[in-house]
Amino acid sequence: MQKYELSHVAFIVLGLISEENCNGKIIDEKIEERGMRDWTSIGKSSIYGVLKKLEKDGLVNSWIEELDNRMIRVYEITPYGFEILKSKIKLILSNYFGRHDEDFYVAFSMFPLLSLEEQISVFSNSLSKIKEQEKLLTNMLQENSDFPINVTGLFKHPMMILKTNIEFFEWVIKKIVEDNSSVKKSNKRERG
């Protein structure tokens, strides 16, 4: 498969289209409803240029439908687009190590597109990386315990953030496993 680089805005738009076939107005409404203009870099830009590029590159298909006596263009994700989207989600979620990253928040909002095994794998991988980073900073600080507060703080602050991220990823993995167990038990009761 040829490597395709999704921009941040294209990543958001393709993810929203993957939820349901929709037109540009619905995509804009989802962006507004979810406050994505505040927590992503989608800003106030128009999505229509992105939609044209996604279609030109074979990640979405479109067709014209009539709605309320108006003609609208409806978009759907292609199998190739879904493959690219899942690949981007897995790459981001399995390589997160605690930095502020808008793509991480977008990918996290889409992680249900991954299989159970993929979900556990990506979050476990990031958890491992975060723990390694936290250990590295702890060791560096211990080796240099005589730093003044302004330098020590440059270690302490990220270490505290990493501890919070460790708690978060442990919680996410636990919830995924618990929710999957609940679904399996429910399915057994329905069959049994």
Closest CA to 130 of 88, 99, 173, 157: 99
pLDDT at position 39 is 81
Kindly state the average pLDDT of the residues 94-100.
79
pLDDT at position 97 is 72
For residue 98, the tally of other CB atoms under 10 A from its CB is 21
Q: Which residue has the higher pLDDT, 184 or 141?
A: 141
Average pLDDT, the chain: 90
CATH topology (fold) of 8-85: Arc Repressor Mutant, subunit A (1.10.10)
Tell me the pLDDT band of 96, cut-offs 50, 70 and 90: confident
With a threshold of 0.75, does the pTM exceed it? yes
pLDDT at position 116 is 96
